[in-house]
Amino acid sequence: MEEITNHTSENTNQATLVDRLLGGLIDWIVVLAIYYLLKGLVGWSLSYLVAAAYILVRDALPFLEGQSIGKKVMKTRGVHEDSGAPITNNYRTSFLRNILLFIPIVSIIDALFIFSGDHKRLGDRIAKTIVIYDK
């Protein structure tokens, strides 16, 4: 995949609030599907771990070309804000972007940040990423 360069939070190629919210909703539907499909096969604890792992590393998975399923559907992609490089195979960055979603009060604060002017979640700010439209 080509490297995407020169993307900043002011770039017009940045994904809109609606596209980010819809992508996130699709990802949570995927998480519930993973959990309930696996629960009957391997039990609740392992199905929970697989679903949680998807949330944490979804933007780095090489077999999804560095996009979560929600981002694929919405044709968006998480990239490093300084270089514009996709975060494919960068599990650390994906983990940093998403770990706050597992801390109850902090996850609400994280989600509210998406309504700021630059539509960046708190996790995006910590990991120094933005979500852009995929070409």
Average pLDDT on 87-104 reads 95
pTM for the model stands at 0.83
Domain locations in the chain as residue ranges: 17-133
pLDDT in tens, 54-88: 999 999 999 998 899 999 999 999 999 999 999 99
Residue 131 exposed, middle or buried by CB count within 10 Å (0-12, 13-18, 19+): buried
Looking at residue 12, its pLDDT comes to: 57
Asked if residue 120 lies in contact with residue 114, where contact means CB atoms within 8 angstroms, the answer is yes
Residue 126 has pLDDT above 50, yes or no: yes
